[in-house]
Amino acid sequence: MKLSAQSSDTLVFFCNGQKISEKHPDPSWSLAQYIRSKLQLTGCKIGCGVGGCGACTVMVSAMGQSTRNISHIAVNACLYPLCAIHGKAVTTIEGIGSTKTKLHAVQERLAQTHGSQCGFCSPGMVMSMYTLLRNNPKPSTDEVLSAMEGNLCRCTGYRPILDAFKTFTEQAGCCNGSTGGKCCQNGDAEMSDELYDVTKFTEYDPTQDVIFPPELLTNNSTFLQSTQFTKDQLTWINAGNIEDFLSLKSNNPKAVIIAGNTAAPGASHNLEGVVIYTGQVSQLNSIELTETGLKVGASVTMSMLQNAIKLHCKTLSSDQASSLHIIQQALQQYASCQIRNVATIGGHLVAPKSDYDLVPLIMAVGAKAFIVDTDGNVRESTLNGSSYSSDDRLVQSNEILQYIEIPFTSVNEHVEFYKMSHKRYYLDNAVVTAAFCMTFEPESDVVRDGCLVFGGIRKLPVFADATMKKLIGRTWNTELLESTCASLKEDLQSDIDASGKDQDYCSNLVVGSFFKFFFKVLKSLEEKQVTSSTPLPATPEFGSIPSKVPCGSALFQPAPKDQPNIDSIGRPIVHRSALQQTSGEAVYVDDLPPVQGELYLAFVLPSRGRARVLSTNLAAAQEVDGYVTYVNADDITGINRSTLDDDEILVTKEVYSTGAIIGAIVATTPEAAHKAAKLVHVSYEDLPVITTIEEAIEQEAFHQPTESLQKGDVEKGFDQSSVVLEGTIRTAAQEHYYMEPTACIAKPSGEAGEIEMITCFQEINSVQCTVAKALGVDANKVNVKTKRAGGSFGGKSNQCNYMAVCALAAQKTGKAVRMVLPRGTDIQITGHREGSMAKYKVGFDDKTGKINSLDITVYINWGSPSGIHFAIFGQVLFSLQGVYAMDNIHTTVKNCATNIPATKPMRTFGIVQSVFIIESIITDIALRCGLPVLQVREVNMHKEDIPTTYYGVPIEGFDVFRRCWKECLDKSDYHNRRNQVNNFNSKNKWTKRGIAIAPLKFNVGNYPTFMHQAGAMVNLYLDGSVLIHHGGVEVGQGIHTKMIQIASRVLGIPVDKIHVAENSTYVIPHATDTAGSHSTDMWGMAVKNACDTLVDRLAPFKSDKPDGNFADWVSAAYFSRVNLSVIGYYQTPDITWDWATKTGRPYPYSTFGAACSEVQIDCLTGSHELMRTDIVMDVGKSLNPALDIGQIEGAFMMGYGYFMLEELLWDKDGTLITNGPYNYKIPCVRDIPAEFNITLLRNCPNVRGVYSSKGIGEPTLCLANTVHFAVQDAIQSARADAGISEVFALEAPATPDRIRKACGELNFTKL
């Protein structure tokens, strides 16, 4: 190996103003690894490890090589190579503010606007906004949205985050442009919208920000020299200039070239040999405006190009800048801000992939590449399909790409770019991209030349040359359009067939994109008055997805005016950990510093869904430096069964899904553990695999038992119905996608077999039981602790075999062992929301839509093992009736035993499918009868004051539902907007709008009777402070905050005097799973009971000294030997259910709500925009409106993901396909409704809830079905235009391909 660079053993950079000199840095490390491991700055979180979530966002600052301007960019530290930071400055969350010193305005405002729930994403959010402010102290609201695109949040629904950051913008406008600050337009005297007080925010002072290190300014040239760092088998070279780069390339022709390190996330962690970094080569980072175009260096980043186009276009004519404007728009759709800040034009072009958006566009505009070989020879190549070699490379091993030149557009030239994505408009991979460039004869509509380029079909863009040849010399008219559409299908059919993608969908996207282009060009030609054909009566309008700045309202009933200020119940107080979370000080499991000798664990997982394990070969794994041992079933000293005895903890002979664990590698570093685990060779004997519900039905593969409920005689009901309709309703599996990956640390105590488990689990009782069983010790030797979880949503509950394996590793080695699941592994083994298929038969009156009889069988794709499959029976069956009266109904649930990892309860476990099923049936009835859906919903609703469910439970408070329904109709202005939608659709063929309103009855706390119990311990201290222990886990929902509020009211002391301790099975045993939206009800009552007892004990001392304070009374009680530590206990009353007799009351109460959503769809592509959502929700008397509204919005957006975006997919052998943010998309900030209005129903106390409140963590997820139904409504208009009237099924999620297909066949001849 020949090298040619100045060798160095010291990496120098600045972090938070402090100089860091690292000798012998590991070139394989990312910046995030170093920051967290070496600097112990754990505010930089690792959420996905591949640059997809933004949790690891930090600011990198550097001085420009030519301008000497200081640039600040937000980057994903998990992707940013450590050695690329040489000579630069990095700022982390810890460097901008602290609760111990002074918070930065961004940190403070994010907390005060309730924008931090679980808090795991908060540091990344803060750093993205902080970086934006460093570049522009008064950004626009659209710049804020752009900066936030790459930061995912699963908790909040994004609205409060935007509220916080919009307060910094120059266009804040009314009430600072925020939803939650007091609004001047709220005219309802009984309601408040003041979730926070903007007048109390600390003013942002840019002069207080960390300065760029002077040493980097004065010694900049030193750091720009070529340097190399070597460790083990990897050498990293920072090329200083193009001459050095060419020399290095000559000496190391097989070297890997890296600039942004975004092409293969995590690739630098697996490199060997030589890596050459080009990020500081000035000649590759320049942008120059020439007489003919824009000259762009190969290492210019997407963000640099965006900014340069914005700057240079000011000096160009609109015609000249046309192509540059299109490129700028295309760049905005490309990835996230953090990725655009490092991804380069050269990386995009040199080794393109099929989903690289810009390549077709750069080719279509006729850009030229200038390529230099190691001898200094330059060759020029016009970028097109022939520019690439047979192995799809633009440059050879002895060449580099120096720059490209993008030509200006001529006056007769028209350029356009279209991107059609898999799931959503922003932040998604393309199914098809289309780039068109058409040149006309001067002052004519006759085509002279052009280019039709399509990406996403093959690895390299596809040129429709045959079609283009047919266009030359032709007039731009409708005859040309029709023939071109037909020609494109024929021209590209073979390429589409070979792509492996949906052929019809891709073909429609190809033709549809040209269809749009045709009319855009036609409109331009007409404006220039150069068209020779007869003008069309009306040029079709096509919907676009605008860059929306969300707005809305959040209304709640304020606390009574006479309520004492010290009483925080009903007030929107801030989450008690919010400031620690937004400052990066909140500690999550993997933030804990390692103890001496701590080891790390990585799993060996099956590569197929079902197989017999024949052998395991560890030879290669044992050669990895740092390997310690291997843990398998032979190491289990206790019982190799999970808590429910349904599954092995570690595989002995056979795997039933890829969620099983064959074994685990234990090593001295996490990198060594994961590397070794990948090298373990497992031999299998494949067995038959079942992955789908249809396969399970065919083979009668069901977990036993099944369950059903019935009322009346359904067959008789069908006979009495004028119409009987049958249908199928499908929903996909959904990943929990909490931001903090599953993690735990197992610490053996060294005596009596005791072990401490530090986890982020929401059900620590299961961890204690499973670990004790596996280790062969009593449960009293296992202490499980949880401080907080960075999100959970059910994903960190129940089955916890992986925790037991970590404990086994600790027992075997006698040392602490840390387990942090990589995101792909986490998705693979921790369970998910169950996919479902419902088959229904419904009889009804065809004049009114009134249901006479209904039979539903719901099939659940449960997976393996069986787990708690029985728990879903009640969740589904008790919710299938909705708010509707039915005399004859029969429902059945069957759980399919498939070879995918077993389902794990997820927010609205089983209920969201049931609500969707019944509302879909109502929608189908309306369509079949030709009636408005609203009319059919209302005709079927319960009419009694206290109706009864079909399983015999009275629905208390149904009048509250009727109020929700009426208020939602009124606040959403449904009837007026229904007419507006109809009017819009009558005038538009290719863009349609839809609106839908739907009701909700949600059964809170619907789980087995034994789980309806809770314990808490409250301790009083002599200084008047209070410590609460309870069994509810803080997962972001604010349960600790509400416990403090409850205790504060009972004890009559300020909330600041109360603290909630971390959960521990040694303190509160048998803690029920924090789930079912019932946790505050149960633990709140337990805390209240304990506090009531303490108040009684203090009463005599308060009576003796009425003018004393709380501390005085506590001290007096202590010296009188009164016990000041009380256990509170609560069991939900009147709860029972007997499946044998089908009688009882399975849940304490129901909560009610309604939502209305409006959408716009593009019939050509299937993309959609969520224009507005209004929600009216019954929460009883809210304990904390800010927390409750946050839960409502967060749940709704998770439901939006479920109904519109998210879908877990497995291949035929049971292997997970969608295993990370690259191919599994959760909602981002651009997905929230353009207008989002929330109203908490006033005056609706709940007699069964603590302080009249109701659980609210889950219900509104179900109401996101209104988006799906609104899309269905829009589709129906498109189908009506096409003459299609029959009932149609729209699977959830309603992805663009499904929407496009449901609209019917495209007919481009009827304009």
Residue 988 in 3-state DSSP?
coil
Give CA–CA dist 1149/1256, Å, rounded.
12
Do residues 164 and 82 touch, judged by C-beta distance below 8 A? no
Q: What is the distance, to the nearest Å, from the Cα of residue 326 to the centroid of all Cα atoms in its chain? A: 29
Give CA–CA dist 366/784, Å, rounded.
63
Give CA–CA dist 1227/120, Å, rounded.
17
Cross-strand pairs, 757: 746, 784
Give the pairing type, strands 413-421 and 430-440.
Answer: antiparallel
Residue 840 in 3-state DSSP?
strand
Q: HSE of 367 in the Cβ direction (CA atoms, 13 Å)?
A: 27
Q: What is the DSSP letter of 728?
A: E
Select from 12, 3, 58 the least CA-distant residue to 33. 58
- The radius of gyration of the chain from alpha carbons, rounded to an integer in Å, stands at 31
Which amino acid, one-letter code, is at 215?
Answer: E
Query: What is the rounded end-to-end Cα distance, in angstroms, of the chain?
Result: 65
Residue 920 class from Cβ within 10 Å (0-12 exposed, 13-18 middle, 19+ buried)? buried
CA distances from residue 860 to 772, 857, 905 in whole angstroms, order as listed: 31, 10, 12
CA distances from residue 718 to 854, 889, 928, 949 in whole angstroms, order as listed: 8, 10, 16, 20
Q: HSE of 157 in the Cβ direction (CA atoms, 13 Å)?
A: 33
Cross-strand pairs, 1176: 1154, 1239
Cis-peptide, bond into residue 705, ω within 30° of zero: yes
Cis-peptide, bond into residue 1100, ω within 30° of zero: no
Give the pairing type, strands 287-289 and 273-277.
Answer: unpaired
Give CA–CA dist 927/1269, Å, rounded.
12
Q: What is the DSSP string of 1175-1216?
A: EEE--BS-S-HHHHHHHHHHHHHHHHHHHHT----B-TTS-B
Give CA–CA dist 1075/1086, Å, rounded.
16
Q: What is the DSSP string of 158-215?
A: SHHHHHHHHTTSTT--GGGG-SSBPPTT---TT-B--SB-GGGSPPP-GGGSPPPPHH
Select from 848, 851, 890, 838 the least CA-distant residue to 724. 851
Measured from the Cβ of residue 67, the count of other Cβ atoms closer than 10 Å reads: 8
Q: HSE of 490 in the Cβ direction (CA atoms, 13 Å)?
A: 10
Instruction: Check 149, 585, 740, 1258 and give the catalytic one.
Output: 1258
Q: What is the DSSP string of 16-29?
A: TTEEEEEES--TT-
The helix or strand, by DSSP H or E, that contains position 784, with its residue range, turns out to be strand 782-786
- Provide the sign of the torsion angle of the four alpha carbons 1109, 1110, 1111, 1112, taken in this order: positive
Q: What is the DSSP string of 656-724?
A: SSTTS--EEEEESSHHHHHHHHHH-EEEEEE-----SHHHHHHHT-EEEEEEEEEES-HHHHHHT-SEE
Give CA–CA dist 853/713, Å, rounded.
8
1286 is catalytic: no
List the catalytic residues.
1258
